Amino acid sequence: MTASKSSRARNARASAQAGGTKGGTAVKNGSAARSGSVNRNAGANRNGTVAKDGGRDQARTAVARNGADPRTERSARTPVIQAAATPGGPAVWLQLTTFALALAGLGVSIYLTIAHFTESALLGCSESGVVNCTKVTTSPQSYVFGIPVAVLGLAFYLFAVAIMSPWAWQAPRREIHLLRIASLVVGIGFVLYLIYAELFIIGSICLYCTSVHAITFVLFVLTVAAAAAWGLKPGVAWKPRLTRHSD
């Protein structure tokens, strides 16, 4: 009986130790399971972060290949100030040259008008041969519609001085520049008629008249060249304008 009880006690203790061992193993296994889960979750997080970073790198690589920049795309939606490509006007030398020529033409026209009404001889002009100022200024062709040609020339150059001034060249109104060209077209047409009258009808030329013709021709050429180079509204300076890019 005593031996049986002792055997049972030993067996009970052995079973308890075995159960404790198994329980400890289970605890250890639970810790391992939790550690494995944590490690897997951490690995998953790291993998997700790497995937996101890899996606950004791929996007940047694609942007670099395509030549587009997301920052540029965002800034393209904001208003941008640009300069209007409107020309600023003809060169200063052209403005001053045409103004000086108009003043010279006005001076000659004033002198011819005075000589016409005072019937005085023109200084430095021959009175015989091909160059004969008196014959030209007193011929029937020296009147057009009953008006002396000298007076018409005076009126034309009074207008030319105003229209050829630097202030007129820099005017923003297109009508002023159109009027300048139109006046020169009329003027050059009248000059061609007078040259024809001198050479084929009168048979003589006037040096003062020829100087006015030459000045008118040069003004015509410069005005047409300015219109071709700077347009019919050259007085408008460059002005900034606000433009908005579409998305």
Rounded Cα distance, 88 and 128, in Å: 51
Contact 232, 176 (CB under 8 A): no
Show the CA angle centred on residue 31, arms to residues 28 and 32, nearest 5°. Answer: 85
Q: Does pLDDT of 104 surpass 80? A: yes
Same domain? 182 vs 160: yes
The whole domain housing 96 covers 92-230
Same domain? 28 vs 149: no
pLDDT at position 2 is 44
- Tally of CB atoms within 10 A around 161: 17
Please give the structure tokens belonging to residue 26. 């289970």
Q: pTM here?
A: 0.60
CA dihedral of 46, 51, 55, 56, whole degrees rounded to 10: 0
Give the E-state strand segments of 110-185 in sequence order.
Answer: 143-144, 147-148
Same domain? 101 vs 74: no
Instruction: Give the rounded percent of residues in the chain with a pLDDT score beyond 70.
Output: 58
Phi-psi region of 245 (alpha: psi -120 to 50; beta: other; left: phi over 0): beta
Confidence class for position 12, pLDDT limits 50, 70, 90: low
Phi-psi region of 67 (alpha: psi -120 to 50; beta: other; left: phi over 0): left
Decide if 29 is inside a domain: yes
Decide if 246 is inside a domain: no
Decide if 206 is inside a domain: yes
**What pLDDT, in 10s, does the model give residues 193-230?**
999 999 999 999 999 999 999 999 999 999 999 998 88
Q: CB burial class (10 A; 0-12, 13-18, 19+) of residue 6?
A: exposed
Decide if 236 is inside a domain: no
Decide if 15 is inside a domain: yes
How distant is the alpha carbon of residue 54 from its chain centre?
Answer: 45
Same domain? 76 vs 177: no
| Spatial CB neighbours of 57, under 8 Å, sequence gap ≥ 6 | none
Please give the structure tokens belonging to residue 58. 């791929």
Same domain? 187 vs 106: yes
Give the E-state strand segments of 36-133 in sequence order.
Answer: 79-83
Give the E-state strand segments of 47-100 in sequence order.
Answer: 79-83
Decide if 151 is inside a domain: yes
More confident residue, 164 or 46: 164
What's the number of domains the chain is made of?
A: 2
Long-range contacts of 70-78 (CB under 8 A, 24+ apart): 76/245, 76/247, 77/245, 77/247, 78/245
Same domain? 126 vs 74: no
Distance between first and last Cα of the chain: 99
Lowest model confidence (mean pLDDT) among 21-35, 106-120, 125-139: 21-35
Contact 170, 94 (CB under 8 A): no
Mean pLDDT of the chain: 74
Contact 111, 207 (CB under 8 A): no
Same domain? 134 vs 211: yes
Q: Does pLDDT of 21 surpass 50? A: no
Same domain? 46 vs 102: no
Question: Which residue, among 106, 87, 100, has the nearest Cα to 226 in the 3D structure?
Answer: 87
Q: Does pLDDT of 94 surpass 50? A: yes
Same domain? 150 vs 220: yes
**What pLDDT, in 10s, does the model give residues 127-158?**
777 889 889 988 999 999 999 999 999 999 99
Same domain? 113 vs 217: yes
Decide if 97 is inside a domain: yes
Same domain? 64 vs 113: no
CATH number reported for the structural domain that contains residue 137 in this entry: 1.20.1440.130
Decide if 237 is inside a domain: no
| Spatial CB neighbours of 86, under 8 Å, sequence gap ≥ 6 | 233, 236, 237, 238, 239
Which of 54, 81, 108 is the last residue before a domain boundary? Answer: 81
Please give the structure tokens belonging to residue 216. 């008118």
Same domain? 97 vs 184: yes
Please give the structure tokens belonging to residue 172. 């923003």
